Amino acid sequence: MPLAKPTAPDLLESLYDGAMNPERWPRFLGQLATRFDGGTASLRITDIEKPRVYSSFTQGFDAEANRRYMEESVAVDLFRDALSAAPLGTTLASHEIVSDREFERSAHYQMVFRPNGNFYAMGAQFERQASRAAHIGVHRPR
């Protein structure tokens, strides 16, 4: 994986530029996905205790797969509990949470990752308030 230093200023500039304007977040997410050789990226605000999505911003996601995640797949998301249990800001990779074989057979993979052409994910929760958490993730093919 390439060093982050050469593109970090561009990513930070894009992040700061869009921080107060959600319409600009897809640009940042697209740059983030590209930086990690991924096809998609997401920033979501979810409930820690219940399978509920309050806000979702994605880049590169299949619209139907994203709708399914928002409405039903969040309940079978294999990464939710691990992200919530980790210290705030801890980056977790999908293979650290679930084996490739188990993931490939999961409803979460079939409903969200497979339609998007992805297999691996990396993400972190970066904010928690009451029962809500904000997390960011990048996803890439096998």
Task: Give the residue, 33 or 5, on which the prediction is more confident.
Answer: 33
- Most confident region among 11-25, 31-45, 54-68, 79-93 by mean pLDDT: 79-93
Is-above-0.85 flag for pTM? no
Q: Is residue 7 situated within a structural domain? A: no
- Report yes or no: 131 and 49 within 8 Å, Cβ to Cβ: yes
Give the chain's domain count: 1
Q: What is the spatial distance between Cα 40 and Cα 60, in angstroms, rounded to a whole number? A: 5
Residues 6+ apart with CB under 8 A from 12: none
Q: Is residue 18 situated within a structural domain? A: no
Q: What is the spatial distance between Cα 104 and Cα 142, in angstroms, rounded to a whole number? A: 11
Q: Is residue 9 situated within a structural domain? A: no
Q: What pLDDT score was predicted for residue 10?
A: 64
The CATH number for 97's domain is 3.30.450.40
Segments forming the whole domain that contains residue 77: 37-140
When pLDDT is cut at 50, 70 and 90, the band that residue 102 belongs to is very high
